Chain A
Amino acid sequence: MIAELGHYALVLALSVAIVQATVPLYGAWRGDPGWIGLARPSAIVQCLLVVIAFAALMHAYITSDFSVLNVATNSHSAKPLLYKISGVWGNHEGSLLLWLLILVLFGAAVAVFGGNLPAPFRARVLSVQAMIGVGFLCFVLFTSNPFERLLPAPIDGRGLNPLLQDPGLAFHPPFLYLGYVGFSMAFSFAVAALIEGRVDAAWARWVRPWTLAAWCFLTTGIALGSWWAYYELGWGGWWFWDPVENASFMPWLAGTALLHSSIVVEKRDSLKNWTVLLAILTFSLSLLGTFLVRSGVLTSVHAFATDPARGIFILAFLIAVIAGSLTLYAFRAPAMKGGGLFAPISREGGLVLNNLLLSTACATVLLGTLYPLFLDAVTGEKITVGPPYFNATFGPLMVPVFLAMAVGPMLHWKRGDVLGAVQRLKFAVAASVIALFATLVFAFDGPWLAIPGIALGVWMIAAALEEAAYRIRLFRVPVADSLRRLWRSPRAAWGTTFAHAGAGMVIIGIVASSAWQVEKLQIMQPGESVSVGSYEFKFEGAAPIPGPNYEAVRGIFQVSRDGKDIAVMQPESRKYQDPPMDTTEAAIRTGWGGDLYAVIGDPTGDGSWSTRFYNKPMIHWIWIGCLTMVFGGLVSLSDRRHRVGAPVRGKAGAKTATKMSAGAKPPTPVVTK
């Protein structure tokens, strides 16, 4: 009964979405306040209906209602409650419903909190948002209905892939989708602006918080995913450049570029066309990511062909969204003239360089991800594009980004001076030179690339800090004065400081953990010891441990350093029954200097076990760096300009709605120089 209610709510949501996609749009065109006014309530109703549907599916999972096909296929009564809940989105149908839920939540958020948007513009945004909703509702209802019944109901379900039964992965998809779908807001704002025919500073300021929130979510989602890979897959790897990862990384790259280019629109009324295009492309990449992961095209082009209904639908939807928005763009963009001029060396120039490199890097990832599919489809030839390709192409493209990232915030708008900026970063220069020589002296035995790598990371962190110190005039004015500046300078600037320093931390984590990792794999008898770097691992033995829905073997290792016991590490090897699968649960001990990582493998049959140990220096900096970046995003999100005062549009533009306003001045930014 509840499942049917959920299904019915979805059907109702579809009809509401169709109304929301058309009526307010037409109303905004005719200037009819009644029709325009329909946008807000319909967005809220659509949201409530999808929430009901989602709750119905959640109910089926929690109560283990195996008469629902989706629950029977993906859940099991013996699963812990957390994984019954996360099982809702651990499968195709449920994850689409989650996608939809987040989409309508964002729509409702605009309806409720978008009070500072002009009503016709808000109506257009919500209409575009509803069009995406119609597409996904149709997809769910016609090809991937999660409420399908299975009669007679089986005694028990088939279970969730054990690799997914993990707290890290329980929360990974919601964050990822919050990021993907969050970019739909940037898309809807961009398309609405194209329909209106104007993009100005006010527009950039409205879009910014949504893009920033989406970016924070996506960054968290990707970080959670890589962290999961690190501790769950049992080989210490955390990024494989596999197509599913790339699918989430491409919108991140494009979204990061979008965040930066929209600053130029907001502050300098330039790069408008490009920013709108980037907003469209970012969401298109999010859709592409969903398509790649959901259609099965990645496993093989042929898998896609065997079950074409879903693949064809989502491909058609993808083409409709991308082609539709780009056509609109082609018609409207040429009319939008950018304002502020700038010299190549300037803050704007730095942000253009950022966009140039990030989009090239994004295109490279796209090429590497899709190339095997195209080659297979065209010539039947099979190749693998793996990490070595991306390291060789993506890596070099990002190095200049990282170098420039430190200098950019020090450049003036309109006309800057690189030499002057670097001079103002003298402490950062000194810190990175010291880091260069220190690595050279203390770690000369590692790969040589690690030496400039560490220096680069130090450069980014030190420059971010020095830029902040420069901003508050630390030690150049009385300290009390600096503190006041610290408090008064815009939060967005602090966001930059944290985000850029966080990126530097990620670089140091990546470089150090890959360059100076120690790994040992061997067959061990209980009582034997192995030294890993300066640590000693003593195998005490292995014992079976029963779990709620698996059988485990737990190895016990005494870890010591310089003869002193420092930890007992207990990795497990688990055998799940429903579905049958083996997983490894690595034991990880995080210290200041990095992680110790222990895995117990298979028994040899004569009382010995295969074991693996790693010492990964500074690897936790990768995730701490990601968190720092997200924190920077949140700080920037709390900037008062997002909370206080609706930005006002220029008068001249308001009269001629189809013409880009030349008079729309960016509202005076609250910058204390």
Chain B
Amino acid sequence: MLMPFMRNLITMVFVLGLAGSAWAVAVDKPMDDPVLEARARVIHKQLRCLVCQNQSIEDSNASLARDLRILVRDRIEAGDSDDETIRYIVDRYGDWVLLKPPVKSGTIFLWLGPVLFLALAVIFIFLWYRRRQTPVAAVNAPLSHDEQARLKSILDNGDRG
């Protein structure tokens, strides 16, 4: 049984595979203009290798990653801006290719989460600390039965701690 995700992945692999054959020499050849190449490299770092776990296409050996690297270089060569290049890729593969998830309704909690955790932890510690400090007055309260018994045994037996 093919899950939709697998189907997408296979389509993707297939489409890219065909595209790859069109580029004949699928070897990482940097662009001639170092400025353009530097831009391409920055974009590479932001895109996910489709078949790896959380690796960017910048540091993956997978042939799909190489194909995407070449695709990015092609878009830049064709005169696309950085945003246009990324948009071009995202339009084809979805937000999934972005290593930095965009802020949108589905990812609000992801981005606010850490701040929320920190706030909750600070509030929790503050309350805990305040509650702990209040019973200081209780130090003056009479000893409990247990404590009196213990005090007596200490006094009787000498200081054994």
Q: How far is the CA of A360 from the CA of B121 in the complex (A)?
A: 7
The answer to whether A382 and B117 touch across the interface, beta carbons within 8 angstroms, is no
The distance from the CB of B98 to the nearest CB of chain A, in whole angstroms, is: 6
**Contact among B3, B56, B95, B133 with A383 in the assembled complex (CB-CB below 8 Å):** B95
Taking CB atoms, residues of chain B closer than 8 Å to A300 are 3, 5-6
In the complex, are the beta carbons of A364 and B117 less than 8 A apart? yes
**Selected contact of B59 from candidates A235, A344, A359, A582, CB within 8 Å:** A235
> A392: which B residues are within 8 A, CB to CB?
100
Stretch at the interface among A45-53, A110-118, A238-246: A238-246
B1: chain A residues within 8 A (beta carbon): 306
CB-contact partner of B25 in A236, A604, A665, under 8 A = A604
Task: Name the one of A240, A368, A371, A583 contacting B53, with C-beta atoms under 8 angstroms.
Answer: A240
| A28-52 near B? 1/0 per residue, CB < 8 Å | 0000000000000000000000000
Contacts of A379 in B (CB 8 A): 106
Cβ contact within 8 Å between B27 and A306: no
Taking the nearest CB of chain B, how far is it from the CB of A383, in angstroms?
4
The answer to the question of B28 belonging to the interface, with a C-beta cut-off of 8 Å to chain A, is: yes
Knowing A601-B27, A610-B27 are in contact, say whether A385-B110 is a contact too (CB < 8 A). yes
CA distance A389 to B6 in the complex (A): 26
Check if B92 is an interface residue, CB within 8 A of chain A: no
Q: Does B97 contact A (CB under 8 A)?
A: yes
Q: Kindly state the separation between the CA atoms of A604 and B46 in the bound complex, as whole angstroms.
A: 27
Q: How far is the CA of A392 from the CA of B99 in the complex (A)?
A: 12
Q: Is B101 an interface residue (CB 8 A)?
A: yes
- Interface SS of chain A: mixed
A663: Cβ under 8 A from any B Cβ: yes
Asked whether A233 lies within 8 Å of B3 as measured between CB atoms, the reply is: no
Q: Are A242 and B121 in contact (CB under 8 A)?
A: no
A302 within 8 A of B: yes
Q: A220-260, CB under 8 A of B: which get 1 and which 0? A: 00000000000001111100111110000000000000000
Does A478 count as interface, using CB distance less than 8 angstroms?
A: no
* A656 to B94 CA separation, bound complex (whole angstroms): 63
Cβ–Cβ < 8 Å partners of A646 in chain B: none
Contacts of B59 in A (CB 8 A): 233, 235-237, 240
A370 to chain B, nearest CB (A): 10
B106, A389: Cβ atoms under 8 Å? no
A397: B residues at CB distance < 8 A: 114, 118
**B11 at interface by CB-CB < 8 Å:** no
- In the complex, what distance in Å separates the CA atom of A605 from the CA atom of B27? 10
B100–A352 CB distance below 8 A: no
B129 proximity list for chain A (CB < 8 A)? 344
Contact with B along A565-583 (1 / 0, CB 8 A): 0000000000000000011
Chain B residues contacting A305 (CB-CB under 8 Å) are 3
- A385: chain B residues at CB < 8 Å are 54, 101, 110
* Given A235-B59, A387-B56, A388-B100: A363 touches B117 (CB 8 Å cut-off): yes
Question: Is B28 within 8 A of A302, CB to CB?
Answer: no
Assess A360 versus B117: contact at CB under 8 Å? Given A341-B132, A602-B27.
Answer: yes
The residue in chain A whose Cβ has the minimal distance to the Cβ of B59 is A235
B96 within 8 A of A: yes
Question: Is the C-beta of B127 less than 8 angstroms from some C-beta in chain A?
Answer: no
Bound together, the chains give a CA A367 to CA B110 distance in angstroms of 7
Number of interface residues of B (CB under 8 A): 49
A662 at the B interface (CB under 8 A): yes
Question: A602 to chain B: which residues have CB within 8 Å?
Answer: 26-27
**A375 contacts the other chain (CB 8 A):** yes
- Is A327 at the interface (CB under 8 A from chain B)? no
The residue from A338, A363, A381, A584 contacting B106, defined by CB atoms under 8 A apart? A381
* Smallest Cβ-Cβ distance to B54: which chain A residue: A242
CB-CB under 8 A from A603, the residues of chain B are 27
Given A360-B118, A652-B150 in contact, is the A383-B55 Cβ separation under 8 Å? no
A235 CA to B41 CA in the complex, in Å?
13
CB neighbours (8 Å) of B125 from chain A are 352, 356
Q: Which of A352, A368, A393 has the most CB of B within 10 A?
A: A393
Asked if B132 and A338 sit within 8 Å, CB to CB, the answer is yes
Whether a CB of chain A sits under 8 angstroms from the CB of B17 is: no
Contact between chains at B121 and A383 (CB < 8 Å): no
- Given contacts A360-B118, A363-B117, A582-B61, A384 and B132 within 8 Å (CB-CB): no
B107 on the interface (CB 8 Å rule)?
A: yes
Whether, in the assembled complex, A447 has its beta carbon less than 8 Å from a beta carbon of chain B, the answer is: no
Does B58 sit within 8 A of A, measured CB to CB?
Answer: yes
- Residues facing A in B56-92 (CB within 8 A) are 56, 58-61
- The CA of A385 and the CA of B53, in the complex, are separated in Å by 10
Inter-chain CA distance A338–B133, complex, in Å, is 12
Q: How far is the CA of A242 from the CA of B58 in the complex (A)?
A: 15
A243 contacts B121, C-beta separation under 8 Å: no
Q: How far does the Cβ of B129 sit from chain A's closest Cβ, in whole Å? A: 7
- Structural contact, A388 and B106, CB atoms closer than 8 A: no
Contact between A306 and B56, CB atoms less than 8 A apart: no
| A234-B61, A302-B6, A601-B28 known; A383+B118 contact, CB < 8 A | no
Interface string of A343-364 (1 = CB under 8 A from B): 0100000001000100110011
**B13 interface residue per 8 A CB criterion:** no
Question: B99–A386 contact, CB under 8 A?
Answer: yes
Q: Which of B99, B107, B114, B161 contacts A364 (CB 8 A)?
A: B114
A652 to B58, CA, bound (A): 64
Residues of chain B lying within 8 A (CB to CB) of residue A583: 61
- How near does chain B come to A399, taking the closest CB pair, in angstroms? 13
Interface positions, chain B 1-55, Cβ under 8 Å from A, are 1, 3, 5-6, 25-30, 46, 48, 52-55
> For the complex, what is the distance from the CA of A237 to the CA of B94, rounded to whole Å?
25
Over the window 129-144 of chain B, the binary record of Cβ atoms lying under 8 Å from chain A Cβ atoms (1 yes, 0 no) is 1001100100000000
**Contact A386–B54 (Cβ < 8 Å):** yes
CB closest chain-A residue, reference B115:
A393
Q: How far is the CA of A572 from the CA of B53 in the complex (A)?
A: 24
Query: Which of the listed residues A240, A306, A375, A521 has the most CB atoms from chain B within 10 Å of its own CB?
Result: A240
Beta-carbon contact of A243 and B146 below 8 Å: no
Given known contacts A241-B54, A341-B132, A388 and B99 CB-to-CB distance under 8 angstroms: yes
Contact status A371-B110, CB under 8 Å: yes
Contact B60 A235 (CB under 8 A): yes
Give the shortest distance, in Å, between B135 (CB) and chain A (any CB): 9
Q: B147 near A: Cβ within 8 Å?
A: yes
Residues of B with C-beta under 8 A to A601: 27-28
Q: Which of chain A's residues have a CB closer than 8 A to the CB of B122?
A: 356
User: Interface residues, chain B, CB within 8 Å of chain A?
Assistant: 1, 3, 5-6, 25-30, 46, 48, 52-56, 58-61, 94-101, 106-107, 109-110, 113-114, 117-118, 121-122, 125, 129, 132-133, 136, 146-147, 150, 153, 161
15 A-B pairs with C-beta separation under 8 A: A244-B53, A298-B53, A352-B125, A356-B125, A360-B114, A363-B113, A364-B117, A371-B113, A382-B94, A382-B96, A384-B48, A387-B56, A393-B114, A523-B27, A584-B61
Q: Name 14 extra pairs, CB < 8 A, besides A384-B97, A523-B29.
A: A241-B54, A243-B53, A356-B121, A359-B121, A360-B118, A371-B107, A379-B106, A383-B98, A384-B54, A389-B100, A584-B61, A602-B27, A604-B29, A605-B25
A residues in contact (CB < 8 Å) with B: 233-237, 240-244, 298-300, 302, 305-306, 338, 341, 344, 352, 356, 359-360, 363-364, 367-368, 371, 375, 379, 381-389, 392-393, 397, 521-523, 582-584, 601-605, 610, 651-652, 656, 662-663, 665
